[in-house]
Amino acid sequence: MNIPTAIRKPFRYEYWNATLVIVGVNLVVYMLTALFPEVSRYLAMNPQFVLKGGMFWQPFTYQFVHGGLWHLLSNMIGLLFFGLATERRLGSKEFVLLYFLSATLCGILSLAIYVLSGAWYVFLIGASGAVFAIVLAYAVLFPGATVYIWGILPIPAPLLVIGYAAIEVFNAVTGSNRGVAHATHLIGFAVCWCYFLVRFGINPAKVWSRGR
């Protein structure tokens, strides 16, 4: 694959806790939408609002809206756990590019899926697509790391990604666990996988194979 040099030009390494800033923005937006629920209609992504209402910012802003405290906490805890280490390894500029590119492409591609499937009344919310991308990035950067599920069950980071992907595919195909954007989660994994291939020339499968 011939990739233009400019695409692979590295950023000068900087670290300024972008993960914490992103978490802070999500907390602020959550409090704002809790106080003024109508704000969610402008920030969450709905196919009709985007294509017929001209709210073209929604494939980006949806990521900051959450449906409840548990939805927010689960995403932010995941972002803190995997994002801090990933950002420190990549540098803040690279991390921010990966995170927001993943979130935006998750929004755009999810919008395309909704339109093609006729799901005009769906509202997409939450940072989980971008968080899934960061989970995969963590597993590529730290293939030997062990993640403890519920604090007790040890699982190698690559196996965690594979397990999550299998669960999301199963739920998407069978229609299980409705109300969860399984396709968006899978898009997050796919975008990050492509990001490593294009931006760094790294094939995650080969990294995990060498680790095994």
Please tell me the predicted confidence (pLDDT) of residue 211.
62
Q: Are 182 and 115 in contact (CB under 8 A)?
A: no
Assess if residue 3 is contained within a domain: no
Assess if residue 195 is contained within a domain: yes
Look up tokens 């910012």; give the residue: 57
- 10-residue stretch averages of pLDDT, the chain, 212 residues long: 84 97 98 97 98 97 97 97 98 98 98 96 97 98 92 92 95 83 96 98 94 57
Assess if residue 8 is contained within a domain: no
pTM (2 decimals)? 0.95
Q: Provide the residue range defining the domain that includes 123.
A: 14-211
Domain harbouring 139, CATH code: 1.20.1540.10
Backbone angles phi, psi at 184, to 5 degrees: -65, -40
- Rounded Cα gap, residues 88 and 104, in angstroms: 22
Assess if residue 112 is contained within a domain: yes
Please tell me the predicted confidence (pLDDT) of residue 4.
83
Burial 130-155 (b: 16+ CB within 10 A, else e): bbbbbbbbbbbbbbebebeeeeeeee
Please tell me the predicted confidence (pLDDT) of residue 171.
92
Q: Find residue 157's DSSP bridge partners.
A: none
Assess if residue 4 is contained within a domain: no
Assess if residue 21 is contained within a domain: yes
Assess if residue 146 is contained within a domain: yes
Query: In total, how many domains does the chain have?
Result: 1
Per DSSP, the chain holds a count of helices (H) and strands (E) of: 10, 2
Assess if residue 116 is contained within a domain: yes
